[in-house]
Structure 1
């Protein structure tokens, strides 16, 4: 169907519906598309909408109908949770807007077909957010295929070998973890979209599951999924591996003339073909040909990222290609590229329907021991996180019922739901906070806000923390425990031993997270002095243990599961602590009157350097991770150059440039003295090295298998 072309003399006005993580990638793609202006964002969370609006200079809305009535946008990118896509797409289309819907565009083939039909009825463009097909390399693959360079295709393998850490370390309340089918709905569109675009309609024959992992309070989820399918004469194998594995997200075509392998995560295409040279020269020329292709791909991708400060990473380019095709269709009135068309999306989702239909029936979820309704006296904000889960279960084991603030109605506590109440409340709404504190004696604030600017941190972290503390005081709690971070200390000097008496020092030149946590502590201590807030502050160290991630960024900068550049040389002892020991300390803080008004650095007994830790992983799990040291002064210099360019060339506002001491603090050069929590609380962190390693590595399920 042909769309009427827009006025070429004005830009197409675009808006974002949803302000989560993926919205930022869409925003960047829109900003990079000529003739398109990003004007607005809408999210039910005013804080989320305002934060994104501030970053990009947009108008923020919290109501879709209001944004549509204002007529500010010609096109809307729908980047909300998948279960909302179908209804929101119809609302936007009938409201006069073109829509680009993030994958999965709907929950079934029939829902996708309905969106497609409504788009045709309303004369608007509907694009499916199958972004990986927007990369330059994929276009080259299709060109080579259509030119006959690969020959007649006999088989194709489409791979997604990429770690999905939430399966092992949470948060477990994510939509994609709620059911096994959701894993296919979330990740399957990437893979099936390639198959449909290259070969047409897909027949699914068999689905095999492997490497199950137990979800706390629920049943197991597979970490390996293999799907056998076909399209005409082409045999198709789709592989998903979600354990800690080397990143291999690729499409391999096995043809009569050549084998083509396209790495869509890194935008690298290599075609391996026979040559007609004699038997001696053949292997040499074949491998030199492959080497030349790899050299070309490396130089092109390296140059792109160097001149764009990573703004043209393969992932960013994939969104740019998607947005380019979408807006080109809107501007010209020509049909949308088949890669992103609703008809193709319907075939993709119908194939996923077929794969879901072959999944085994799910196991019954565990039931609590009784049907009694919880009567919580402990409130945990951040209770579904790594530390929060352990703390919640520890309190239940001690006989207390717990209220956990959560956005969802199910989570990692279904098996003890007779003792755990999941409670939905906005942290910025005084009335909802007051309801959350009803009946509460002990309150924990374990939450954190990850912000890109200091202004956003003040609003989303500091002001929210003050609101929570006021609600706690008004409710008359006996203890309010806040988790800061040891990252607020200057840990750049090996000669300085850090205790609770050590001052944070000047914070303006520190990273936003450390600075924000320190500011929260300062304001809470002021409330303790002036308004008798029953405050205790905990500062956990590098927390490890069951449910913790392999790729812990407190230790180093990770490059996939197999390589890490540790902060500094990694030879000095760093402040590891077991998660269960942190939970024990947090309970002791609530039970000890001597803890009131004090802070505690929760670091374990000194025993391991970063290199020791990775050596233990190799010895105990058989996984040799490539460990490289980092020169923190060089990292600081590189970051400073990027900061200057972003601020003065790309005109990005609100950025910060942490000091050299801040970078050096990431290495945790300064040792810690943990005497204070042991004396005041009677805390006893694990002191036996082998037992510590058993819990931190053997029982932590770091690799997923």
Structure 2
């Protein structure tokens, strides 16, 4: 059997799932990869065995190498790229949304009609196992005809809580609908048919940037030819829920997408009292059976007895397989262009209400257009992040002119529009680019750690490479002082008898640490070796940073499988080195002018050092939510984690065992003495528990966190 040759355009995280599905299907073959970054295309192709790479999608379209294309680029580019491949009569499968504007939809409608070529959309929620069970029950006919549909979709949104508003979904009111709401909308549309009318009730907006309105909650009333439906959609929720319920003439069907369970309920032949017992017993049996099956499938996948079985992967697999079934029989394609177009039309109608409600506020520009200064007092690399925002505010308050360098400059807080602030975008992995970014500045603060990667070596290479490029750029530009922001993660903190001071060296056994801590330790050592050529280097290591912009579920205390329950690093009674973000900013600003500190490494720990149990008690009191800390010992955690790895290794997966040294260090049993930091930087972190509570805890209370 000849395999369909596939080209992938875009190598982001979603492309990894597409490639995995393709590699596991004997009828498909990934032969080409295109990405604007030639290096990314080459690395992706090597990882997945593709023979050809392109930095221009048009060249791939003209190459004659492929029989189908997957468009996996950012949403605003989907329509143009899909039209390009359709023009060459290449069947095309694009990530959702198929387009983002009415102009996009018109372009694609013309391209599909003129080319006569199939265009499919990845609406993977249609192939979620629980939804497929619901769909099968309704198609089976035992429940009668569909009368109405209700869907409740509530999802956490990490970027909303942490203030990372540069993401595409925050750029326009419609984008969050196309990013999130389109998933449940696709399920409703498949069941009810194309919507003939759409009414939207929009909850009050929250301001995410300088006058920028964002709408986290929407109620959509949807009317198709025969079925009335409702979608209650909310992002930024603390408790995730995604349930779709279908009322039929002779029963109901519901799907719990989060827990991967479907519930089918009809009538029995018995009288009412007996019927309630029989149907209730059957409902419980369905829940138990599916919960058991889900767990056993997960366990079998973990130990290598079967392939991936998580619901997300199965949904992606089903969607991709359905597209290729559609190549031979288009009538079997669940999400052709017309389906995707209808979904975008629905989102456009809902967003029109958002635009009207937001009024003039959402039209404010949050990216400055003024010409950047040739010289500034300080340049802040990675300055739009969590700590960076506090540092910019402090520097501006001190009357400094500030250049902020970051990859994304969209939807920034008001401080970034200040007359003293210039904004530029630059690639800090490159010394020449870094030199250009810091030119005209004698002092530089580096908050851009650059430590992403899918392996320990990749993380170290990225973090160390970025730091070295910044140092080289600073030396080339004649910078006098570089403040490198590290982390206490690079230290060994696992002994309760140790006192950590400014003289404490990075962990002498970094190979026994987790990937991030290992990279931090090596990077700190390397930074001190690079002092010279007129450049002073100072390393500041913030501890557990808290304040507005950090989640209540802080990883400094343990692992959160959800944001309510923390599986702690320790028994929760030892004092932890908390520090307010505003105090970190004060120390950083002071380090710009403090004398005689080149080559020094300072640990930034505040004076309010609660235990994890004390932190959680305060959090419960402030929020009214049942936050719970589950005490564990590092020895227990190490045993459990290594048991998991042993099972994976038996199944043939190569993974490194954990060292108890790493989990001891995460527990942070060591004590901190920051007297040297306070003296050298003239630093006075908050010591009043009431002030600490107001800035670290109370900001998570619903009325303070901007919840609607």
Structure 2 residue aligned with 1:91, among 81, 84, 91?
A: 84
Aligned to 1:5: none
Aligned to 1:454: 456
Aligned to 1:584: 586
Is residue 170 of structure 2 the alignment partner of residue 168 of structure 1? no
Aligned to 1:339: 334
Aligned to 2:16: 24
1:478-500 CA distance string (max 9 Å, x none): 22111212112222333323223
Structure with greater contact order relative to length (CA < 8 Å, sep ≥ 6) = 1
Q: In the TM superposition, what are the counterparts of 1:535-574 in structure 2 within 5 Å?
A: 535-574=537-576
What CA distance in whole angstroms lies between the structure 2 residues aligned with 1:83 and 1:370? 22
Is residue 516 of structure 2 the alignment partner of residue 518 of structure 1? no
What CA distance in whole angstroms lies between the structure 2 residues aligned with 1:31 and 1:638? 32
- Give the superposed CA RMSD: 2.8
1:601-631 CA distance string (max 9 Å, x none): 1122243122222221211111112432345
What CA distance in whole angstroms lies between the structure 2 residues aligned with 1:183 and 1:21? 19
Give unmatched runs, 5+ long, in structure 2.
Answer: none
Offset, 1:214 = 2.4
Offset, 1:650 = 5.5
What CA distance in whole angstroms lies between the structure 1 residues aligned with 2:574 and 2:278? 49
What CA distance in whole angstroms lies between the structure 2 residues aligned with 1:78 and 1:648? 37
- The answer on whether the counterparts of 1:373 and 1:419 sit within 8 Å (CA) in structure 2 is no
Residues 234 and 173 of structure 1, relative CA distance in 2, 3 Å threshold: same
- The answer on whether the counterparts of 1:272 and 1:290 sit within 8 Å (CA) in structure 2 is yes
Is residue 692 of structure 2 the alignment partner of residue 697 of structure 1? no
What SS is found at the alignment partner of 1:107? coil
Aligned to 1:291: 284
Residues 17 and 367 of structure 1, relative CA distance in 2, 3 Å threshold: closer
What CA distance in whole angstroms lies between the structure 2 residues aligned with 1:51 and 1:459? 15
Aligned to 2:619: 617
Offset, 1:219 = 2.4
Structure 1 residue aligned with 2:313, among 308, 312, 316?
A: 316
Offset, 1:298 = 0.7
Offset, 1:200 = 0.9
What CA distance in whole angstroms lies between the structure 2 residues aligned with 1:276 and 1:627? 49
What CA distance in whole angstroms lies between the structure 2 residues aligned with 1:191 and 1:597? 55
Aligned to 2:510: 507
Residues 191 and 447 of structure 1, relative CA distance in 2, 3 Å threshold: same
Is residue 393 of structure 2 the alignment partner of residue 400 of structure 1? no
Is residue 25 of structure 2 the alignment partner of residue 33 of structure 1? yes
Give unmatched runs, 5+ long, in structure 1.
Answer: 1-7
1:303-349 CA distance string (max 9 Å, x none): 1211112932111211111122123334xx22164422112111111
What SS is found at the alignment partner of 2:671? coil
What SS is found at the alignment partner of 2:341? helix
Q: Which moved more, 1:290-299 or 1:482-491?
A: 482-491
Residues 369 and 457 of structure 1, relative CA distance in 2, 3 Å threshold: closer
What SS is found at the alignment partner of 1:100? strand
Aligned to 1:3: none
Is residue 70 of structure 2 the alignment partner of residue 77 of structure 1? yes
What CA distance in whole angstroms lies between the structure 2 residues aligned with 1:633 and 1:73? 53
Residues 36 and 509 of structure 1, relative CA distance in 2, 3 Å threshold: farther
Offset, 1:101 = 1.3
Q: Which moved more, 1:74-83 or 1:426-435?
A: 426-435
Aligned to 2:119: 126
Is residue 408 of structure 2 the alignment partner of residue 425 of structure 1? no
- The answer on whether the counterparts of 1:485 and 1:541 sit within 8 Å (CA) in structure 2 is yes
What SS is found at the alignment partner of 1:226? strand
Q: How many residues align?
A: 692
Structure 2 residue aligned with 1:300, among 274, 277, 293?
A: 293
Q: In the TM superposition, what are the counterparts of 1:675-694 in structure 2 within 5 Å?
A: 675-694=675-694
Residues 616 and 38 of structure 1, relative CA distance in 2, 3 Å threshold: farther
Aligned to 1:138: 131
- The answer on whether the counterparts of 2:539 and 2:601 sit within 8 Å (CA) in structure 1 is yes
What CA distance in whole angstroms lies between the structure 1 residues aligned with 2:50 and 2:644? 24
Is residue 195 of structure 2 the alignment partner of residue 192 of structure 1? no
Q: In the TM superposition, what are the counterparts of 1:377-396 in structure 2 within 5 Å?
A: 377-396=377-396
Residues 500 and 61 of structure 1, relative CA distance in 2, 3 Å threshold: farther
Structure 2 residue aligned with 1:260, among 253, 261, 277?
A: 253
Offset, 1:12 = 2.8
Offset, 1:38 = 3.4
What SS is found at the alignment partner of 1:215? strand
Aligned to 1:629: 631
- The answer on whether the counterparts of 1:20 and 1:48 sit within 8 Å (CA) in structure 2 is no
Residues 409 and 673 of structure 1, relative CA distance in 2, 3 Å threshold: closer
Offset, 1:248 = 0.5
- The answer on whether the counterparts of 2:322 and 2:333 sit within 8 Å (CA) in structure 1 is no
- The answer on whether the counterparts of 2:367 and 2:410 sit within 8 Å (CA) in structure 1 is no
- The answer on whether the counterparts of 1:451 and 1:513 sit within 8 Å (CA) in structure 2 is no
Q: Which moved more, 1:432-441 or 1:560-569?
A: 560-569
What CA distance in whole angstroms lies between the structure 2 residues aligned with 1:704 and 1:369? 23
What CA distance in whole angstroms lies between the structure 1 residues aligned with 2:29 and 2:657? 29
- The answer on whether the counterparts of 2:325 and 2:332 sit within 8 Å (CA) in structure 1 is no
Q: Which moved more, 1:550-559 or 1:286-295?
A: 550-559
What SS is found at the alignment partner of 1:154? strand
Offset, 1:284 = 3.5
Offset, 1:296 = 1.1
Offset, 1:636 = 3.3
Residues 110 and 189 of structure 1, relative CA distance in 2, 3 Å threshold: farther
Residues 657 and 421 of structure 1, relative CA distance in 2, 3 Å threshold: farther
1:181-211 CA distance string (max 9 Å, x none): 2111222221221122111111344222225
Q: In the TM superposition, what are the counterparts of 1:152-301 in structure 2 within 5 Å?
A: 152-210=145-203, 212-301=205-294
1:551-594 CA distance string (max 9 Å, x none): 32232222333333222322322222111111111111112123
Residues 13 and 518 of structure 1, relative CA distance in 2, 3 Å threshold: farther
Residues 482 and 75 of structure 1, relative CA distance in 2, 3 Å threshold: farther
Structure 2 residue aligned with 1:351, among 333, 342, 346?
A: 346
1:650-673 CA distance string (max 9 Å, x none): 666xx6544222133222232322
Residues 340 and 483 of structure 1, relative CA distance in 2, 3 Å threshold: same
